[in-house]
C-alpha cells in the first residue's frame, strides 16, 4: 500500500520531466538492483590523499575535485551502501 503510493508519486513526478520518455516499474521482474551514493566532502588540498585512501577502502571513486571539496561515488548491491556511513 505504502509502496504503491510512493511509486505513483514517483512516476507522476518523473514523467513530467522533459527528458523522461516513459517510466516502468521493474519490481515484479527479475533484475539487478544497485544503490548509488554520492558524497561531497569539504577538504583542504593537503588532505586530499587521505580522503582518497579512505574512499578506496570502500571501492569509492573520486568523480569531481574543486578547490575546497571532492565528490566521491560509491555503488553497491542494494542494501549494502550502509556500511560506508
What pLDDT digit, counting tens, does each position of 61-70 carry? Answer: 999 999 999 9
Q: Which pLDDT value is given to residue 66?
A: 93
- In the DSSP assignment, the letter for residue 77 is E
- In the DSSP assignment, the letter for residue 39 is E
Count CA atoms closer than 13 A to 53's CA, side-chain side: 4
Q: 65 exposed, middle or buried (CB, 10 Å; 0-12, 13-18, 19+)?
A: middle
Kindly report the pTM of this predicted structure: 0.57
Q: Which pLDDT value is given to residue 85?
A: 46
What pLDDT digit, counting tens, does each position of 29-40 carry? Answer: 787 777 888 999
85 or 69, greater pLDDT: 69
Mean pLDDT of 18-37: 76
Amino acid at each position: 500500500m505504502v509502496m504503491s503510493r510512493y511509486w505513483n508519486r514517483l512516476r507522476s513526478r518523473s514523467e513530467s520531466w522533459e527528458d523522461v520518455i516513459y517510466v516502468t516499474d521493474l519490481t515484479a521482474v527479475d533484475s539487478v538492483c544497485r544503490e548509488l551514493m554520492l558524497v561531497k566532502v569539504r577538504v583542504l588540498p593537503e588532505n586530499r590523499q587521505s580522503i582518497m585512501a579512505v574512499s578506496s577502502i570502500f571501492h569509492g571513486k573520486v568523480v569531481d575535485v574543486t578547490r575546497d571539496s571532492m565528490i566521491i561515488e560509491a555503488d553497491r548491491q542494494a542494501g549494502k551502501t550502509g556500511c560506508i556511513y
